[in-house]
Amino acid sequence: MKNTHKPKKGLCRKMYFARNLLDPEKVKHVSTRDGFGMGLLEAGKQDKKVMALTADLTDSTRTGAFKKAFPDRFVQVGICEQAMASIASGLALSGKTPFISSFAAFSPGRNWEQIRTCIALQNTNVKIAGSHAGLSAGKDGGTHQMLEDIALMRAMPNMRVLSPCDSIQTRKAVEYAAKTKGPFYIRFSRIASPVITTEKTPFKFGRAEIFRCGTDLTIAATGPLVYEALLAAQALSEDHGIEARVVCFHTIKPIDKSMIVKCAKETGAFVTVEEAQVNGGFAGAICETLALTTPVPVERIGMQDKFGESGTARELQEAFGLTAPFIALAADRVLQRKLSKRVSAKPAHITAAEELYKKKSKG
């Protein structure tokens, strides 16, 4: 009897996605930092031990609502990120649950040593909230665009690392961290980004979720660029009949190794997507797992050993090759490698990004 079974493809309906998901013009846009503010406020309502500390960035980190609701549990330390980390450690040792917030470039960028010694080494119950991560600081330029934080924080013992895909997932991540003992790092961005999930969308710490079904390759993505991965997968399906599986990794540490192995065995190829340095970042976590368990071809979308520059966040994402068209190019290359075909020494998605960068620089 002929087998008429067709493999699953397309959006995973059990994820209960937002309406108009694949229409960039209609899907709702909300900043993930707004999700942090909502989650922090809710955590404060549920637990009187929750406190918020910020380094002169109350509005930017969306801690204002918490300050208004719980002024006696809010601490404005000023531009003293190192002191903020040390103070928070002391508060945690006295039974509190402090969240420290600043631009990711400054926390964990400036106070990494204090986080290491006072928080991670002591395994204290401090939550580090890094706002304006990736290229989202935009015109503030390379000094404020934190691209190394994933690598910095996932290498730190005792540290859990979360990179939510949208505002709703960010809120859920914050609420989970508030209820769970030990250090957490949660990264989020400045700009408004598509709201992919809903209240019904599953969220479990440490578990990656399949957002789109497919058997030809896996696109593993984290943070707001999960949306670009979904757009790329849709274009690959419509234009070339390629069915990409898209997996959302909101938890980078501990990485979901079982999901990585499962996808490697079922699809045989990976493209990783992140708004951070691929060296040591999310791509590093994926590649390390694959190398130790199920080696398959991998292409990496992210910052290729470069600092950011001044420009709008969208201009920079395009100039550095982080959007859907570049993900599709990486998918084509990894599929050629999967079939053991010859490919150019330099990946097409990197060449295309460099050409676009030069064009935008001249323009």
Q: For the chain, give the mean pLDDT.
A: 95
Task: Tell me which of 5-9, 84-88, 267-271, 324-328 is least confident.
Answer: 5-9
CA distance 88 to 94: 10
Pairing state between β 50-54 and 97-103: parallel
Q: Which CATH number fits domain 30-194: 3.20.20.140, 3.40.50.970, 1.10.1040.10, 3.40.50.1820?
A: 3.40.50.970
- Give residue-wise pLDDT tens across range 103-119: 999 999 999 999 999 99
Contact residues for 6 (Cβ-Cβ < 8 A; gap 6+)? none
Which pLDDT score is estimated for 4?
Answer: 43
Going by pLDDT thresholds of 50, 70 and 90, the confidence category of residue 360 is confident
Residue 5 above 60 pLDDT? Answer: no
Pairing state between β 29-31 and 192-194: antiparallel
Q: Are 36 and 62 in contact (CB under 8 A)?
A: yes
DSSP string of 175-204?
A: HHHHHS-S-EEEE--SSEEE----TTS---
- Higher pLDDT, residue 15 or 1: 15
Which pLDDT score is estimated for 152?
Answer: 98
Residue spans in the chain of domains classed CATH 3.40.50.970: 30-194
Going by pLDDT thresholds of 50, 70 and 90, the confidence category of residue 363 is low
Which pLDDT score is estimated for 7?
Answer: 58
Q: Structure tokens of 46?
A: 């549920």
Beta strands of 195-329 (E only): which ranges? Answer: 209-213, 217-221, 244-248, 251-253, 270-277, 298-303
Going by pLDDT thresholds of 50, 70 and 90, the confidence category of residue 358 is confident
- Give residue-wise pLDDT tens across range 151-168: 999 999 999 999 999 999
Residue 58 above 60 pLDDT? Answer: yes
Which pLDDT score is estimated for 239?
Answer: 96
Pairing state between β 74-76 and 270-277: unpaired
Residues labelled catalytic: 81
Going by pLDDT thresholds of 50, 70 and 90, the confidence category of residue 244 is very high
Is 10-27+204-362 a domain of CATH 3.40.50.920?
yes
Residue 3 above 50 pLDDT? Answer: no
Residue 68 above 60 pLDDT? Answer: yes
Mean pLDDT of 200-224: 98
Which pLDDT score is estimated for 356?
Answer: 87
Q: Is the dihedral of CA 244, 245, 250, 251 positive or negative?
A: negative
Could you give the percent of the chain with pLDDT greater than 90?
Answer: 94
Residue 1 above 60 pLDDT? Answer: no
Residue 357 above 70 pLDDT? Answer: yes
Residue spans in the chain of domains classed CATH 3.40.50.920: 10-27+204-362
